[in-house]
Structure 1
Amino acid sequence: MDRIIIEGQQPLSGSVKISGAKNAVLPIMAAALMVEGKSVLKRVPDLRDTRTMIKLMEIVGATCSFEDDVLEIDGSTVNNPEAPYELVKTMRASFYILGPLLARFGAVKVSLPGGCAWGPRPVDFHLKGLNKLGAKITLKRGYILAEADRLKGTTISFEFPSVGATGNIAMAAVTAKGTTIIENAAREPEIVQLCEYLNAMGASIKGIGTTRIIIDGVDSLHTADIEVIPDRIEAGTFLTAGALLGEITLTGVMPGHLDTVLLKLREVGSEIKTTSDSVTITPTDPINAVNMTTAVYPGFATDLQAQWVALMSIANGSSIITDTVYHDRFSHVPELNRFGANIKVDNNTAFVRGVKELVGAPVMSTDIRASAALIVAGLAARGKTTVSRVYHIDRGYEKIEEKFHSLGANIMRENPTG
């Protein structure tokens, strides 16, 4: 099993190109299953999760070709609307095929999801929404069976602006009869791009990027091509490292998607310069301790909470980090404390007392973003760090060790058994 070896405290400099967004491409891939014909997706990141989704699409009958960040999907041969446990358990986003295949075939069978090890992310919002659209939902032996002759437009109001449920309901509703209104919809850029892609396929969606999405059902869709937006979580991860270790420039980004992160990094003391598609960060010493509370977009992303905790672990002073989105997403804290960090967790809040330096240690990844936080900490720590179970990071980061190496980090991947 691969692991990542880091010799820390090497200064970073130069530029790095940010990959396409994992959380955008997965629902777009699912949307491509709704039509016959070939759709072309560009700037697709080569991730474990992308490959898992491709496997799932091939199981349902699609023909896929993935080369040089271009993914071609032909939905003409889709004939098996079922997502097996073996794949769904490894990646919750595979649940995205529920809405599209229900809309296309009138029946779909999907295993209850798995994915990251932390926290309950219930699928109730998805199922209640589909039920309101007229689907009959049955749970049998760990599988969800959804059936409907044709879905019917309705008003769906989410208790919480779930990204996954907003995407799934939007995909299901675009060919429903009548008008569907999603209240308290997610506003994340990845949902914005999904809705824009559905409109490019012939859907009629208004209110994109607001909390109230209005969908007028259409009779049919057609294929469409798209370039995936840059990954704002990957960008935030590299910015966190830059705030600690040296002036770096991120290219191929959308700075508008990073407003909250950039605001917080300025509070830390970093100098930030942006162009239309780049961000340059210059670090400060010492780092100011800055409190942070996660929130749904446009707030501070929960997917960057672990990296922020790593940054604050060597800030000058104490900080309080609260995660209001997922209340038990702190599996990285015991591992960060192995570096010598001083972090305590109470419920959904981490209390961080900055230390003068971190010291390299053997640590273990527990989920995608925790892995990134451990790599950031290892880059800043004195001495050698070994990060094991890096298959987690491969789910959400494309060649992270190669990108950091190109910036001057002493980092490598090794397979001790290979």
Structure 2
Amino acid sequence: MDRIIVRGNGPLSGQIPIAGAKNACLALMPATLLSEEPLTLTNAPRLSDIRTMTELLASLGAEVTQLQGGKVLASGCHGEINPVADYEIVRKMRASNLVLGPLLARLGHAVVSLPGGCAIGARPMDIHIEALEALGAQIELKEGYLHAKTQGGLKGAVHEMRFASVGATENFLMAASLAKGTSVLKNAAREPEIVDLANCLRAMGAQISGDGTSTIEIQGVDLLHGATHPVVTDRIELGTYMLAPVIAGGEVECIGGRIDLIAAFCEKLDLAGISVTETDKGLKVKNRGDRIKAVDVVTEPFPGFPTDLQAQLMAALCTAEGTSVLEEKIFENRFMHAPELMRMGANIEVHGGHATVHGVSKMKGAPVMATDLRASVSLILAALAAEGETEVRRVYHLDRGYERLVRKLSAVGADIERIHE
């Protein structure tokens, strides 16, 4: 099993290119099930999760081709469609549930296994089910599979979600695009990935308005056509690499970065004493002092502070001046990185959904184990400024969300290598 070795090596300097958004691409790819014509996605990230979604779509009858080293995905679904999303594929990735809405819209029936993914909480499917049932779907759970069907196709409806679920919003958008009549989704998720999906669906001929707000309206159409769509910048990868010079010192320019994608995150960096400036190419991050200041964080749906950057910011706050309190309000069990950071000398107390981080002057290298995708990279970040050598094990998690991480960090001066075993 591969591992990554990091040695604290002083300040960083240079540029890091930011890939297309994993979470956006994983929602865009199932949209190919909505049309017989091809959908081409540019700026696609090269990740294991993308390969898993490719495998899933192929099992359903779609043809997915990777071009230009995987940066472009061309897919089409013009033949016979298999309505069954098998457990052996779906168990690998949470986003597999995003084929449910498109299959229902295209076929009127689907059998989709309950999904897997990182072990960071239950993340139940009930919000997805309620949203699709509002459109007329009948869904029943049998032996770990969701058996869904419609009578006469999906029909437009008004539905208010009890939680602004990103995945449920995406499933509703895709399903409602081919439903008969007008649909309105209230308390919809507002994330940039939702806007990106809506932009793609509009390019395919869908009639959608209000994306980026809490109320989205969809006027169903009879069919969608092919399109070419660029995947939006990955705001989580962006925030992760912005923290590298925060922790190790120095100055790094993140190519393709945009403040509007992570405004709440940038506000916390400013409070911590970090300079973030816009450039012609992206965002430049510079540590203005030796130690950052402690800040408090509450994770919230967009436009609030993203839960997917909580672990990484915690790594930075481990050596901040003062005490920081982080409250996780999106997922339970999302402080599993805290014990591993404590192995490196961090002073952290976890009580339920709260973590209190007392800043220490220095972290020390140690053998640590990754528990999920974002926890993995938080340990790498902490190791950039730790004394000595840190060995991070179970790094296969990283391959799900970070494209060529070792190469990108090495290019700005980090002493990091991946050991293949």
Q: Shared fold (TM-score greater than 0.5)?
A: yes
Equivalent residue for 1:264, pick from 262, 268, 273: 268
| Counterparts of 1:201 and 1:376, CA distance in 2 | 40
Contact 2:159/2:184 (8 A) holds in 1 = yes
What's the CA shift string for 1:157-178, capped at 9, x where partnerless?
1111000000001100111111
Superposition deviation, residue 270 in structure 1: 1.0
- Runs of 4+ in structure 1 over 3 Å off: none
Moved more, 40-49 or 318-327: 318-327
* 1:330 aligns to 2:332 (yes or no): no
Q: Counterpart of 2:352?
A: 347
Gaps of 5+ in 2: none
| Counterparts of 1:162 and 1:9, CA distance in 2 | 40
Q: Counterpart of 1:99?
A: 101
| Counterparts of 1:32 and 1:224, CA distance in 2 | 10
Superposition deviation, residue 82 in structure 1: 1.4
Q: Counterpart of 2:163?
A: 160
Q: Counterpart of 1:90?
A: 92
What number of residue pairs does the alignment pair up? Answer: 416
Equivalent residue for 2:247, pick from 244, 247, 259: 244
Q: Counterpart of 1:80?
A: 82
| Counterparts of 1:276 and 1:326, CA distance in 2 | 36
Superposition deviation, residue 252 in structure 1: 1.3
| Counterparts of 1:346 and 1:184, CA distance in 2 | 30
What's the CA shift string for 1:46-88, capped at 9, x where partnerless?
1010000000011001111113201110111352121111111
* 1:235 aligns to 2:247 (yes or no): no
Superposition deviation, residue 277 in structure 1: 4.5
Q: Counterpart of 1:357?
A: 362
What's the CA shift string for 1:242-273, capped at 9, x where partnerless?
11221000011222112111111111111111
Q: Counterpart of 1:16?
A: 16
Q: Counterpart of 2:5?
A: 5
| Counterparts of 2:131 and 2:258, CA distance in 1 | 31
Counterpart residue identity of residue 319, structure 2:
I
Contact 1:177/1:217 (8 A) holds in 2 = yes
Aligned Cα root-mean-square deviation (Å): 1.0
Gaps of 5+ in 1: none
What SS class does the counterpart of residue 171 from structure 1 fall into?
Answer: helix
Counterpart residue identity of residue 100, structure 1:
P
* 1:209 aligns to 2:212 (yes or no): yes
| Counterparts of 1:79 and 1:392, CA distance in 2 | 31
What SS class does the counterpart of residue 303 from structure 1 fall into?
Answer: helix
Contact 1:255/1:276 (8 A) holds in 2 = no
Counterpart residue identity of residue 350, structure 2:
V
| Counterparts of 2:156 and 2:362, CA distance in 1 | 57
Counterpart residue identity of residue 147, structure 2:
L
What's the CA shift string for 1:306-349, capped at 9, x where partnerless?
01111110001111011111132111000000000000111111
Counterpart residue identity of residue 172, structure 1:
A
| Counterparts of 1:249 and 1:407, CA distance in 2 | 10
Moved more, 1-10 or 222-231: 1-10
* 1:278 aligns to 2:282 (yes or no): yes
Q: Counterpart of 2:393?
A: 388
Equivalent residue for 1:291, pick from 296, 299, 302: 296
* 1:371 aligns to 2:373 (yes or no): no
Q: Percent identity?
A: 48
| Counterparts of 2:56 and 2:407, CA distance in 1 | 28
* 1:50 aligns to 2:54 (yes or no): no
What SS class does the counterpart of residue 262 from structure 2 fall into?
Answer: helix
* 1:138 aligns to 2:143 (yes or no): no
Superposition deviation, residue 136 in structure 1: 1.1
Contact 1:32/1:39 (8 A) holds in 2 = yes
Equivalent residue for 1:109, pick from 111, 128, 139: 111
Q: Counterpart of 1:70?
A: 72
| Counterparts of 1:14 and 1:294, CA distance in 2 | 30
What SS class does the counterpart of residue 222 from structure 2 fall into?
Answer: coil
Contact 1:254/1:277 (8 A) holds in 2 = no
**Pairing 1:297-316 to 2, within 5 Å after superposition:** 297-316=302-321
Q: Counterpart of 1:219?
A: 222
